[in-house]
Structure 1
Amino acid sequence: MHPGFVRAPELLPTPKAADLPAERLTGERCVWCGKTATEALSARISVVKGELMRWEPRSCSYCLCHEAKRVYTIHIGVCARCTHRDYCPDSRALYELGFPK
């Protein structure tokens, strides 16, 4: 994948939409903790109550950073393209999101 196409928030898994209250589905509240949302994750498509639904999850800055760190750690352990000297565009994007300067 071209590095310019990588958006780290799109790489983060979210809870199942069917299990979330309405304010987390609409992006008013953080999809993970329920606090006030400040960061957009990207549009998602999920099946809710048997119907296909487009929703736009959002996150608080703490959960966004925490999830990016968690996914980055998993990613570098399983990605065939990542080595100790060179990392793939996905891992670099996750690192920048989870470990801001």
Structure 2
Amino acid sequence: MSVLEMPADVLVVLVLPELATVTTGQSRGADCVWCTTRLTGDVAVDLGERMGLPAGEEADLFEPEKGLVRWYPRACPKCTADRAHKGLFAHTPACEQCVDEAALCPVGRTLYRLVREGRR
């Protein structure tokens, strides 16, 4: 699934690690952001461009964007499915749309699709 198809709210539910806690391979998308498995373009799930502070850096209270760098997390389908599955349990009970009609909620629908695609 490309990041363009993934609503921003889904990325919040998947809970990415902080940039300061990942390896260089994870930050550039070569390795899964959760399990460090080496990724290839045909199986990687693109989690979009992110901004974060590198390891050892602290946020400036007066200029919070100072020192931020771009990073490009990607994940393996299995880790994405596991995170999406956990995300469904966290999202669905609190989402009025999911409670009323789950098929109409873009976040719930995307999480469900990520679970199915990752478990193939």
- TM-score normalized by the length of structure 1: 0.81
C-alpha distance in 2 between matches for 1:77 and 1:99: 20
Give the letter for the 1:45 counterpart.
Answer: M
Q: Once the two structures are superposed, what CA deviation does each residue of 1:48-75 show, in whole Å capped at 9, x if it has no partner?
A: 2242011110111110111111111110
Residue equivalent to 1:89: 106
What letter corresponds to residue 73 of structure 1 in structure 2?
A: F
TM-score (norm 2): 0.69
Give the unaligned 5+ runs of structure 1: none
Structure (1 or 2) with the greater helix fraction: 2
- 2:60 is the alignment partner of 1:42: no
1:16-31 to 2 correspondences below 5 Å: 16-31=18-33
Structure 2 unaligned spans of 5+: 59-66
Runs of 4+ in 1 over 4 A off after TM superposition: none
Deviation at 1:99, TM superposition (A): 2.2
**Aligned residues: CA RMSD:** 2.1
Select the structure that is richer in strand. Answer: 1
